Amino acid sequence: MSVELPKVEHALDVTIEKLVYGGEGLARTPEGVLLVPGVIPGERVQVLPEPPRRGVRHGHLVQVSETSADRVAAECPYFGRCGGCQHQHISYARQLLLKQEILRECFERIGKLRLDVPIYVVPSEPWRYRNRVRLLVEKSTSGFMIGYRELASHALCPVECCPISSPGLETVIRELSQGTLASLFPEGAAELELFASDADRAFWATVYSSLPAPARFGEAWREVFPAFESVCWYHSPSGKEIVWGEGAITSHVGEFHYRVSHHSFFQANRFVLEPMIEAAVGELSGARALDLYAGVGFFTVPLARRFERVAAVESQPAAARDLGANVGVAGTRVRAYDKLAERFLATTSHNWGLILVDPPRTGLSKPVREHLKHLRPQELVYVSCDPTTLARDAAALVASGYQITSAHLIDQFPQTFHIESVLHLTRIG
């Protein structure tokens, strides 16, 4: 659809060429590349450019002159102000296509690799999928607010709903936004992390604050929200915490179940957990498998069903404790190591048939890449939450004698720019 709109003084009239990782659209101008949020490739838009920052020029969308057929109305009333979502204005089918394009481009631009295999896409329910949220809390003489950071800002965007959160979590957000339990929070700023098990059966809450815990905070929280099996107040300056309840909840993923405690990482989309395990583990089997950055054992537990011996390595204290508990049901088939990946790889043997890695956004460190190069397992599975570091690491692995045999895009975070992917690599020769 094309609608001629009056030009805004000082605005540039540009056509969006593509989306880049981070959620912005790229347009080319005589002064160079311009990045604009809230657009779709092919749209003609009017943009007010901002001064360059660190060599990058951003712009503020003023008007859409030619609208993409994939533009839709955002479901969230805070979209465009809240910094949590970037793609709510794009139809979900187009979001998936754009993410595939971005993943391929990252391989070509950063890794200098052509991704010759198909990208198998695992879609999600596009709304109410998140089983984990982290909110900002502010209390002052002017009132009580909860929300997320504003777009491109550290300021708080107060919210009363969050339509990408699970129904149970959204109910808690709505209650808190209306002042429920506000009297329990001390004045000042804090962060509140909420986690829900499968189907919203059980929950925990963690408050991160520079102030000590108020008396009876956890008891009062659990009286209002009985499904919360555990509440934790973490005092940031001292590193001390008070826990009311079990300290963890159990989350089920198909036939597997996992203990997840406060501060432990667990995948955030309740709809794609089983397909993600299938994409990573599939029909792989053999004698020995190694799971690096194992977390609470999300992939370790299913690997133990298919391999004779499995080692799982995790260094984050809370996750390492959960990992030990979760793999205990496998008996001697699995051994958990509370170590950094670099330290474990420096002393391990060379006879791993499979190594699975699920590193943080920073990807694999150079020492880990070098160790993998020398260990040379027959199969490598790389689970990634950042396509830029994945492309960098994949290039190093291919150069050391591996070929990419399959790629999956797991849409963990609909309505956002985030891309989760699973890459399978097989040793050549």
Residue 187: Cβ within 10 Å count: 10
pLDDT tens, residue by residue, 239-254: 999 999 999 999 999 9
| Cβ-Cβ contacts under 8 Å for 252 (sequence gap 6 or more) | 197, 198, 258
Summarize the confidence of residues 23-40 as an average pLDDT: 95
pLDDT at 310 over 60: yes
DSSP E strand stretches across 170-210? 188-196, 203-209
- Does any domain span residue 77? no
- Let me know whether 203 and 304 are in one domain: no
- The answer to whether residue 316 sits within a structural domain is yes
- For 8, the 3-state DSSP assignment is coil
The CATH number of residue 374's host domain is: 3.40.50.150
Amino acid identity of residue 53, one-letter, is: R
Is residue 78 in some structural domain?
no
Torsion of CA 259, 264, 265, 269, to 10 degrees: 50
- Summarised one tens digit per residue, pLDDT across range 145-196 is 999 999 989 999 999 999 999 999 999 999 999 999 999 999 999 999 999 9
- Both 323 and 298 in a single domain? yes
- Asked if 393 and 360 touch (Cβ cutoff 8 Å), the reply is no
Instruction: Assess whether 410 and 312 both reside in one domain.
Output: yes
91 within some domain: no
Taking the C-alpha atoms of residue 376 and residue 200, their distance in angstroms, rounded to an integer, is: 42
Asked whether residue 67 falls in the same domain as residue 104, the answer is no
157 is catalytic: no
Burial track 7-42 (b if 16+ CB lie within 10 A, e otherwise): eeeebbebebeebbbebbbbbeeeeeebbbbbbbbe
Asked whether residue 55 falls in the same domain as residue 114, the answer is no
Q: Give yes or no: residues 283 and 240 share one domain.
A: no
Predicted local confidence at residue 36, as pLDDT = 97
Residue 31 is predicted with a pLDDT of: 87
Average confidence (pLDDT) over 276-300: 97
Amino acid (one-letter) located at 59: G
- Residues 139 and 103 both lie in one domain: no
Non-local (6+) Cβ contacts of 338 within 8 A are: 314, 315, 317, 320, 324
Whether residue 2 is predicted with pLDDT greater than 50 in this model: the reply is no
Same domain, 273 and 400: yes
Q: Looking at the predicted structure, is the pLDDT value of residue 34 above 80?
A: yes
Count CA within 13 A, CB hemisphere, residue 95: 27
Length of the chain counted residue by residue: 429
Does some domain include residue 3? no
CATH code at position 239: 2.40.50.1070
234 within 8 A of 206, measured Cβ to Cβ: yes
366 is a domain residue: yes
pLDDT digits over 316-329, tens only? 999 999 999 999 88
Parent domain of 395: 97-125+269-427
Distance, CA of 133 to CA of 228 (rounded, Å)? 15
- What value does the mean pLDDT take over residues 323-343? 92
Angle formed by the axes of helices 92-109 and 387-399, nearest 10°: 40
Residue 83: which pLDDT band, with cuts at 50, 70 and 90?
Answer: very high
Please indicate whether residue 330 or residue 86 has the higher confidence score (pLDDT): 86
Q: Which of these three, 207, 222, 250, is where a domain ends? A: 250
Q: What is the pLDDT of residues 10-29, one digit of tens each?
A: 799 999 999 999 999 999 99
Phi-psi region of 80 (alpha: psi -120 to 50; beta: other; left: phi over 0): left
Residue 55 has pLDDT above 80, yes or no: no
The count of domains in the chain is 3
Q: What is the reported pLDDT for 1?
A: 45
Tell whether 288 and 408 lie within a shared domain.
yes
Q: Which of 82, 85, 162, 385 is catalytic?
A: 385
Angle at 156 between CA 152 and CA 158, to 5 degrees: 120
Q: Are residues 411 and 291 in the same domain?
A: yes
Residue 5 resides in a domain: no
The pLDDT mean for the chain works out to 95
Query: Does 371 share its domain with 402?
Result: yes
C-alpha closest to that of 292 among 401, 375, 404? 375
- What is the tens place of the pLDDT at every residue in 201-231? 999 999 999 999 999 999 999 999 999 999 9
Judge if 228 and 348 occupy the same domain.
no
What is the pLDDT confidence band of residue 53, given thresholds at 50, 70 and 90?
Answer: confident
Q: Does the residue 264 lie in any domain?
A: no
For the CA atoms of the chain, what is the radius of gyration?
A: 23
Per-residue pLDDT at 39 exceeds 90: yes
In DSSP terms, 230 is beta-bridged to: 204, 245
The confidence score (pLDDT) of residue 76 equals: 98
